């Protein structure tokens, strides 16, 4: 950290009211960037599978685009996490979003030249935008108090709703725009993604000063120094490890279930005669349910125990899988209900798991750990996306949905293990 940065950090240490103002300002910046980021991620979800299906002429690889950009997001999560660890949130998040925007531009060119190899490579790079959009939720928590953390995450997620819901419902508009400039219609949403991701990156690059993570790290170092001079505090590393493991497991399980069912829903709807507008509407409700309830979820996670909301996540995902499996393919209402429950269950799991990760880390290692956890989330999404197409091709969408719902029940033994470990620790203390 430069001497100028140290001086700035020292100013915040000496004036706690400035920390509160910076916390609020950081949340505003995160909200603005997440609106753009939400619009950027919607394209891959809505038309990625359809674009691959059109290029290659088979349903078996329809899940590959989501698998590729989620796999790309795994590498990007680690990269953005390491950048943030060394240089702060501003550098890491701005770089990730801009790289994701370049990947979206590559997808557009792949459609123009009808080149599947360029499509797959570009989707992999596009994944940097989705990873960064997810990691941006951490920026608002760096200066938050322990009882504000889930709420801070929820503010970031709910702001994503504005862009994420608008994105799928602009597929027809962007498709018409793409055709007007000589680009295949299915590539139109990726034009929106490119602009949205790059704008999100510029918001962080220009506005996120001073960097909240660097300030939080300095504040934590000052507290440790004070503890060493007086009564030193203790840190339970074993409890931290347990919290990270439980939080990561919750997010991985909920993510793999959500991605698997979500990926094949557009293809399932297309096979039953639904047009792009109908697909966009269902995915719009799904993404809205992923992010819009966040403010309420964040308050519940802060007020109730993190684990309570993790259990609610598993129950909601199970219900979603059952509705999706039993819904007739031509029933828009039931498909909207199933995908809305899918998004809501993911929301419960992501916010409760994220809060556990933040609770279990400190500013000196937080960004690195968060990046590593998001790698696992992305890899689980890649697995869910890749396997979903194979499952549907080998059996049916109904089997996939039912399997996803049953998999969500794996959260129960995780919760039981967590409670037993905590009880054992309390007994020993």
Q: In 292-365, which ranges are continuous DSSP H helix?
A: 294-303, 306-326, 332-359
pLDDT at 252: 92
Check pLDDT > 50 for residue 91: yes
pLDDT band at residue 318 under the 50/70/90 scheme: very high
161 pLDDT band, cuts 50/70/90, is confident
CATH number of this structure's domain 3-223+237-428, picked from the four choices 1.20.1250.20, 1.10.260.40, 3.30.1520.10, 2.40.430.10? 1.20.1250.20
pLDDT of residue 238: 42
What digits encode the pLDDT tens for the residues 353-408? 998 898 888 877 788 888 889 888 888 877 887 788 888 888 888 899 999 988 88
What DSSP assignment string belongs to 387-428?
HHHHHHHHS-HHHHHHHHHHHGGGHHHHHHHHHHHHHHHHHH
Domain ranges of the chain: 3-223+237-428
For all residues of the chain together, what is the average pLDDT? Answer: 83
Model confidence at 95, pLDDT cuts 50, 70, 90, reads very high
pLDDT of 235 > 50? The answer is no
Q: Please enumerate in sequence order all residues whose Cβ is within 8 A of that of 268, keeping only pairs 6 or more positions apart, or say none.
A: 329, 392, 397
Average pLDDT over residues 20-37: 90
Does 110 score more than 80 pLDDT? yes
Where b means 16+ CB within 10 Å and e means fewer, 267-280 reads bbbbeeebebebbb
Q: Which two tokens stand for residue 67?
A: 């698998």
Does the pTM exceed 0.85? no
CA atoms within 13 A on the CB side of 122: 26
What is the C-alpha to C-alpha distance for residues 285 and 406, in angstroms, rounded to an integer?
23
Token output for 174? 């962007």
220 pLDDT band (50/70/90 cuts)? confident
Could you tell me the pLDDT band of residue 279, with boundaries at 50, 70 and 90?
Answer: confident
């Amino acid at each position: 950290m430069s001497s100028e940065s140290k001086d700035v950090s020292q100013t915040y240490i000496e004036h706690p009211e400035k920390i509160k103002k910076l916390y609020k300002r950081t949340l505003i910046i995160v909200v603005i960037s997440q609106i753009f980021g939400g619009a950027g991620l919607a394209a891959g979800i809505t038309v990625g599978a359809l674009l691959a299906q059109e290029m290659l002429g088979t349903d078996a690889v329809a899940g590959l685009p989501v698998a590729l950009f989620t796999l790309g997001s795994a590498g990007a999560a680690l990269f953005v996490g390491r950048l943030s660890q060394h240089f702060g949130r501003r550098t890491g998040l701005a770089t990730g979003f801009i790289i994701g925007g370049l990947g979206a531009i590559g997808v557009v060119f792949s459609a123009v030249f009808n080149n599947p190899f360029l499509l797959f490579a570009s989707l992999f790079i596009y994944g940097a935008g989705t990873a960064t959009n997810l990691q941006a939720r951490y920026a608002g928590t760096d200066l938050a108090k322990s009882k504000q953390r889930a709420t801070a995450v929820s503010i970031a997620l709910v702001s994503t709703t504005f862009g994420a819901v608008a994105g799928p419902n602009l597929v027809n508009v962007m498709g018409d725009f793409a055709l007007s400039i000589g680009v295949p219609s299915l590539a139109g949403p990726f034009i929106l993604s490119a602009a949205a991701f790059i704008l999100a990156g510029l918001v962080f690059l220009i506005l996120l000063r001073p960097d909240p993570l660097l300030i939080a790290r300095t504040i934590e170092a000052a507290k440790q120094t004070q503890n060493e001079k007086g009564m030193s505090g203790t840190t339970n590393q074993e409890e931290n490890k347990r919290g990270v493991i439980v939080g990561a497991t919750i997010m991985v399980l909920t993510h793999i279930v959500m991605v698997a069912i979500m990926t094949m829903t557009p293809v399932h709807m297309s096979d039953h005669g639904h047009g792009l507008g109908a697909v966009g509407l269902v995915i719009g409700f799904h993404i809205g349910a992923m992010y819009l309830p966040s403010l309420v979820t964040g308050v519940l996670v802060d007020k109730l125990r993190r684990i309570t909301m993790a259990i609610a996540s598993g129950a909601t995902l199970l219900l979603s899988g059952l509705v999706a499996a039993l819904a007739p393919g031509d029933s828009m209402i039931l498909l909207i209900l199933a995908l809305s429950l899918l998004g809501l269950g993911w929301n419960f799991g992501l916010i409760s798991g994220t809060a556990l990760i933040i609770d279990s880390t400190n500013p000196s290692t937080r960004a690195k750990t968060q990046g590593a956890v998001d790698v696992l989330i992305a890899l689980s999404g890649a697995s869910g996306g890749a396997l979903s197409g194979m499952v549907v091709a080998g059996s049916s969408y109904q089997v996939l949905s039912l399997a996803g719902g049953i998999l969500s029940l794996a959260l129960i033994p995780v919760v039981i293990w967590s409670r037993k470990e905590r009880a054992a620790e309390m007994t020993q203390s």
